[in-house]
Structure 1
Amino acid sequence: MRHRAVVRPRVVAFMVAAMLATGAQALPSFEEVRRDFRPSDSLLLDRNGEVLQRLRTDSSVRRGQWLALGDVSPALRHAILLSEDKRFYEHSGVDWRAVSSAAWGNLWNRKTRGASTITMQLAGLLDSELHMGPGGRSMAQKIGQTLAARELEARWRKDQMLEAYLNLVPLRGEIVGIDALSRSLFGKAAHGLDEREAAIAAAMVRGPNAKPALIARRACEVLRVMQADPGTPHASAPVSCAGLDLFASTVVQQRTLNAGDGIAPHLARQLLRADPTNPGSRPPLAVRTTLHAPLQRLAVETLRQQLRELQGRHVEDGAVVVLDNASGEVMAWVGSSGELSAAAEVDGVQALRQPGSTLKPFLYAQAIAEQRLTAASLLEDSEAQIATASGLYIPQNYDRHFKGWVSVRTALASSLNVPAVRTLVMVSPDAFQRQLQAAGLPLKESGDYYGYSLALGSAEVSLLNLTNAYRTLANGGRFGPTRVVPATAAGNKAKPESTQAIDSRAAFIVGDILSDANARALTFGADSVLGTRFWSAVKTGTSKDMRDNWAIGWSQRYTVGVWVGNAAGAPMWDVSGTSGAAPVWAALMQQLHQKLPSRAPAPPAGLVRQAVQFGDQREASRDEWFLEGTQQAVVATDADGETAPQPGQATLATPRITSPVAGTIIALDPDIPPQHQRLRFTAAGPDQRWRLDGKPLARGAELRWLPWPGRHTLQLMDARGALLDEIRFEVRGAGLATGARPADVRAAR
């Protein structure tokens, strides 16, 4: 019996040792452990690597970032060593003095600290077969843990073992590692923990889920040992145990790592996610973006400050985008006002909203490029009733007043609505929709769906797309995509491809108008928030019922877009273009150009600068930009008593048919006499000659035609018979009186 009692344990020990020695050799290297470590939060970084946002991407555990040993406070490192393994730097994996002390205490039924060293605990964390179960480790596991610790000591350095231990040690609840503990319970990085906090953390390593009172007692013991140890990096003043109970109770109640301390949550949710096309993919650990952290912080705070000042006017949401003109890189992306919003999860940068008057620059650019208008052309700002398929469209100005005849420069800079609608009548909604699409503003419906209200922003666009469309104007009409990931990542091209979306000459003229403080004075005053001490061009907009307010503009280097409103679509109260989004735009532009100059762009080829006088002195004489061939010295209306342009002068615009609009369908009413259903033809330009269905019809700027059912082609000709413009329309319904034929129909003025 005695022989069996001696031999059997030896055989078992030998078998266990041989088995676990093989497992110990399979322990990973320090580099492998660090490489495979995955935080529970992914990081959104700015262009320089600064953390913008943390986003929880693993709900099963709470792990922070891997910390280098130098990023852990000296107080915490010392507290852990004194509490868990004070001879860590002396032993070779097993502290035999601690083993002897523990065995002696067990012999006399004295409660002592376990003999498990940091190296042994680390071995248990690295090998799943050595993990401690609910009843503690078995004898076989303890032997294996000892062997694995010896293997670690042979292959790893001491600083590597301590660094890995601090990153992998399980702590309170779901928390793993010192970084997660520091940020979730103490609200700071691990390098900032003081002696008291370090003592609490060390106590939690010993008993992760102990009650606060027990944690406080253990922390007090650690604190006393620390202060008695000559190697402790003491604080400037001794720290006592007084108040540790209350402090421990407060600390353990902090259960979550605050991921809201970031400043770019919406972009983080977009970029820090698994590939939806690959079911097995995992979220990236970190993504470096084109954002600039100081500018992002400024944009967040400036927007929130402005919305605080608007409290009481039913405004709680906003968004900001800042683009680099040359590269298209997004430098700031603020999706909401955060805690000020009842819908903070909604990303206002990508949400679709009505842009109001911010579409007008693209409309006038198109009209100028097509030579329908010049910057000096006069448009009538008066009550208008425009027939549409669904009834009469009656546009109004923002202030409900009309200004009479104004130049295109004044109409655009002062954001007058009726002249813009009259311009869209010339261009046509469908053609304007195609222009917007080319500038990166895809609309859900066709231009005819929106009708003439499209001139006033009745469609829906995102702040990102709208700001990039303004960047197109800033770049001489060339459209290029935006990007939030640097060109060096994901194989992006250093310079994205661009296309000519807007005539460069028209883009220059529109920019010159939007930078003209005198031209905008009619609506905004001579000294508005839109004015800057450097060159900039800007446009504001307010959608129907004051639901959205915008300020979009550019400088030589940057384009800034701002939206304020309510994510739920509720209207604001008494918020105008200059009191809502514009102050945020102005503050950001001022900061961007605090030390950086912004100069006016050079005019492209094909432009002429001409002195212009206005008939009846409707506007002050000035130098104006024209597309070459459209310049004129005098601009007047018939009411001014002015004569037609002199020989050698270009006309006000190329003659065009202004009514009816291409594709119009006219329905005749059989109960109304035909002579009372005449269709009005109008054209812009001098010496008009009309042809209908290939036959001469009449001369003059306006005529009234007795309609005949069918599809018709209406043409505008010059004196030499050259085609100037052509549209097609259809007449449906009752015919004319019996015996009448189309050839017999004569136009009436």
Structure 2
Amino acid sequence: MAPTGKKRRPVAAPKRTTATPKAKSRAKRTKKARRGPIAWVMRIIGFFLRLIWSFTWRSAAVLCLLIGAAVSYFYTTLPELDELVDGRTRGSVTLLDHNDKTFAWRGEQFGGFTSVDAVSPVLAHAVVATEDKRFYRHFGVSPRGVASAVRINLREGRGPLSGHGGSTLTQQTAKLLCLGVPFDPTTGMTEAEYEADCRRGTMWRKIKEAVYAMAMEARYTKDEILTIYLNRAYLGGGARGFEAAAQRYFGIPASQLDAAQSAMLAGLLVAPTRYAPTNNLERAQARAETVLRLMAEQGYISDADRAVAVAEPATLSQAAQARAGGYFADWVMDTGPSFLTKDTTEDVILSTTLDQRLQTAAEEAMKTVFETKVREGSEAQAAIVVMSADGAVRAMVGGRQTKVSGAFNRATMAKRQTGSSFKPFVYAAAMDLGYTPGATVVDEPLTINVPGSGAYSPQNYDKKFHGRVTLSKALQESYNIPAVRVSEAVGRENVRKIAEGFGIESDLAAGPALALGVSESTLLEMTGAYAGILNGGTSVTPYGLRELRLQGDDEPLMGQGGGFGERVITEEAAQYLTFMMFQVVDRGTGVRAKLDGRQAAGKTGTTQAARDAWFIGFTADYVVGVWMGYDDNTPLTGVTGGGLPADIWRETMVRVNEGMPVKPLPLKIPPSAIPAQKPPRDPGGTAQNNAATGGNTAQGQQQQAQSPAATDRERRRAERQARRDERRQNGTTADKVLEDVLINILRGGGN
């Protein structure tokens, strides 16, 4: 068959590109590599990487599920906000003065619920700047903060989890809440152990804190978390929360805090006790400067505001300093039941007898004398008690350091020999038995044989003998021998009974030295005993508590803790004794205590080797007791009761009586102390006769008709007869009895 006219193309395979030698070589090497040892190593590495990745994301997923479950659990346990703000495990005690003004706090004081909106904005900024600058940007846990804390700890040579913890403010709040576990005393754990457990820093504890913090972030807003923190944080000085701390240190609410004050309070968070301004103000101010720098760096305050706050640092207000309460507050707390004072779980209100004006007066008086009359560097101490005649303690200073709490109170705790300040009770026994200040006693050598001790021979301070002297003179000059003679005459048991009746509860000496104050007593006891003399011979129990009640209740749980007791000596005896003690201040050993224009009575006291010096006395309104000495019984140098203690007493009394009306002492002047009055010359006789008779009586009118000479003779005769009658009734018999007893003592040489 013949082909057609068209020419056919030859059938052929497409032209292939021939590989270059380099490509062939590379392909050959790749093929060999896939089959060589490197391929096996890569396959193994890839396998493990895939295995690790698979384990990691599965573990992360499981961990997230576990964390989510834990967060959900804690979320369901979190209560309402208002149930978390009061974090105290103990109650508080608020002490009010006699005007019902707060002057001290004890226990853990809570200022009341305070939200972030209610405090000064600069305070919230100070807390955030100091504790957690990323507070508003994290979810409860800050990985950057943890990493930074680990880096700092390692750089400072500590373990990664030792020192800085990197905790957020939310985690700190979780720690304050103790992860929702309240204190339960029935578990046998003490409060201190509970708090230590809440602060544990183990890895497991930190994990739980982180989970609890995330639950809080889910349950509350940021401001609510900050509110809990502001209310629960402990800031030293018994203040729980920033509201209580603002009142405690500055005497103002937290809403009125300025930058310097806010910085100081925020600075307390790192170590509340160490940086508390009541412990060390300069240290607290230095810490506040650090807080101010952080606030400026984070833009919360300007550099100018920071400079002003640094130049004018926060200081304790005078009202806040006074609210330390000092020795008086400690003493009142000890007088109440412990379950309502030191160990209370309730909020308690104590109404007291304190007069803050008088407290300031006593503190200033002591400071003035020690600054002007005591040598620099002296470690001598002093104590002051100011009391009303009914035993109400109005002020108390237990040592030279007045702004203290929990310190040794020399007014109530120190039992010291009383010296001659005990002698008024010797003469009180004599007055109560019918003697008068004009009765006489012989001041001459005396030796008494004391069974078991041998001969006892007292001596006067001036080493002299003064012959026959009146009882008033003997007390006025604080003669020792007459005091012992009178004590032996009236009976030591009577003296001891009267001293105990006036409130001296300490063991009193059994021998004749009892009269010279060798027994020990506290300043509070002695001042209370003198108050019994002032009020006319009735004993008093010193007290500082007027009323105790729970906060919010109107009915008190306890009433007044002291006051008037039983009569110890007659009113006349007390008035005679007051006259004798008035003579002590007016012209005797206590003349340095004399007040201008106001009557005062008192008694000095100096013990053997001048280890103790006392002055206790009173005006018509107040009794003030002063003690001075060394805590280790070192003898005072050149100090007696009529010296520095009398100066302190006078400085105190001048301030105490400032602005008060002048009142006379309740004293009775004995007839022997009243000098005979000569009538003024009057040729007409009218003034003379009126002075003698009163001028308005019938007898006076009759005398006006008589001659001046006859009238004068009658007047003198009547005066002499009146004096004889007075002596016969009041003094003569007592004088004779006293002399007879003393003569017997001298002759017998014993008691």
Normalising by the smaller structure, the TM-score range is: 0.5 to 0.7
Residue in structure 1 matching 2:295, options 222, 225, 232? 222
CA contact (8 A) 2:417 2:518 kept: yes
Residue in structure 2 matching 1:521, options 565, 587, 609? 587
Counterpart CA distance in 2 for 1:656 and 1:345 is 48
Q: Over alpha carbons, which structure has the higher Rg?
A: 2
Q: Work out whether 1:501 is the aligned partner of 2:565.
A: no
Task: Identify if the C-alpha distance between structure 1 residues 32 and 143 changes in structure 2 by more than 3 Å, giving closer, same or farther.
Answer: closer
Counterpart CA distance in 1 for 2:386 and 2:537 is 18
Partner of 2:424: 361
Partner of 1:268: 330
One-letter code aligned to 1:76: L
Task: Identify if the C-alpha distance between structure 1 residues 499 and 217 changes in structure 2 by more than 3 Å, giving closer, same or farther.
Answer: closer
Q: Displacement, 1:545?
A: 1.8
Partner of 2:498: 435
> Which has the larger displacement, 286-295 or 187-196?
187-196
Q: Work out whether 1:469 is the aligned partner of 2:514.
A: no
One-letter code aligned to 1:324: S
Structure ranking higher on relative contact order (CA contacts 8 Å, 6+ apart): 2
Equivalent residue runs for 1:607-686 within 5 Å: 610=671, 651-653=732-734, 656=737, 681=744
Deviations 1:471-530 (A, max 9, x none): 00011111121112223455124874510012111001111232247x8425566xx333
Deviations 1:96-115 (A, max 9, x none): x7669999999xxxx9xx99
Residue in structure 2 matching 1:418, options 459, 481, 499? 481
Counterpart CA distance in 2 for 1:550 and 1:46 is 28
Q: Displacement, 1:579?
A: 1.5
Tell me the TM-score normalized by structure 1: 0.62
Deviations 1:685-724 (A, max 9, x none): xxxxxxxxxxxxxxxxx9x89x9xxxxxxxxxxxxxxxxx
Counterpart CA distance in 2 for 1:205 and 1:493 is 40
Counterpart CA distance in 1 for 2:287 and 2:616 is 59
One-letter code aligned to 1:30: D
Task: Identify if the C-alpha distance between structure 1 residues 396 and 180 changes in structure 2 by more than 3 Å, giving closer, same or farther.
Answer: same
Q: Work out whether 1:594 is the aligned partner of 2:658.
A: yes
One-letter code aligned to 1:502: I
Counterpart CA distance in 2 for 1:473 and 1:207 is 52
Equivalent residue runs for 1:190-339 within 5 Å: 195=259, 198=262, 220=293, 222-226=295-299, 237-239=304-306, 262=324, 264-265=326-327, 268=330, 271=333, 281=343, 288=350, 289-308=352-371, 309-311=373-375, 316-326=380-390, 328-338=391-401
* Aligned-partner SS, 2:394: strand
Q: Displacement, 1:176?
A: 8.3
Residue in structure 1 matching 2:86, options 19, 34, 40? 34
Task: Identify if the C-alpha distance between structure 1 residues 74 and 119 changes in structure 2 by more than 3 Å, giving closer, same or farther.
Answer: same
CA contact (8 A) 1:123 1:152 kept: no
Deviations 1:241-265 (A, max 9, x none): 9999xx99xx9xxxxxx99994624
CA contact (8 A) 1:34 1:66 kept: no
Structure 1: 5+ residue stretches without partners: 58-62, 89-94, 252-257, 616-631, 636-641, 662-679, 683-701, 708-727, 730-749
Partner of 1:479: 539
* Aligned-partner SS, 2:462: coil
Q: Work out whether 1:454 is the aligned partner of 2:505.
A: no
Task: Identify if the C-alpha distance between structure 1 residues 473 and 45 changes in structure 2 by more than 3 Å, giving closer, same or farther.
Answer: same
Q: Work out whether 1:570 is the aligned partner of 2:634.
A: yes
Counterpart CA distance in 2 for 1:388 and 1:466 is 27
Q: Work out whether 1:350 is the aligned partner of 2:401.
A: no
Q: Displacement, 1:320?
A: 0.9
**Identity %, equivalent residues:** 25
CA contact (8 A) 2:140 2:213 kept: no
Counterpart CA distance in 2 for 1:35 and 1:511 is 56
CA contact (8 A) 1:299 1:332 kept: yes
- Greater helix fraction, Structure 1 or Structure 2: 2
Deviations 1:47-92 (A, max 9, x none): 567776677x8xxxxx88657649965422233457789999xxxx
- Over the aligned positions, Cα root-mean-square deviation in angstroms equals 5.9
Task: Identify if the C-alpha distance between structure 1 residues 602 and 353 changes in structure 2 by more than 3 Å, giving closer, same or farther.
Answer: closer
Tell me the TM-score normalized by structure 2: 0.62
Counterpart CA distance in 1 for 2:463 and 2:473 is 17
One-letter code aligned to 1:463: L
Q: Displacement, 1:117?
A: 9.1
CA contact (8 A) 2:398 2:411 kept: yes
Q: Displacement, 1:36?
A: 3.3
CA contact (8 A) 1:79 1:226 kept: no
Counterpart CA distance in 1 for 2:727 and 2:354 is 56
Deviations 1:584-616 (A, max 9, x none): 11111111110112412557xxx896466799x
One-letter code aligned to 2:76: T
CA contact (8 A) 2:611 2:633 kept: yes
Counterpart CA distance in 1 for 2:494 and 2:268 is 69
Q: Displacement, 1:316?
A: 0.4
Task: Identify if the C-alpha distance between structure 1 residues 458 and 532 changes in structure 2 by more than 3 Å, giving closer, same or farther.
Answer: farther
CA contact (8 A) 1:323 1:468 kept: yes
Structure 2: 5+ residue stretches without partners: 1-53, 152-164, 182-197, 275-283, 550-556, 677-717
Residue in structure 2 matching 1:19, options 47, 66, 73? 73
Q: Displacement, 1:365?
A: 2.0
Q: Displacement, 1:146?
A: 4.9
Partner of 1:399: 462
Partner of 1:77: 124
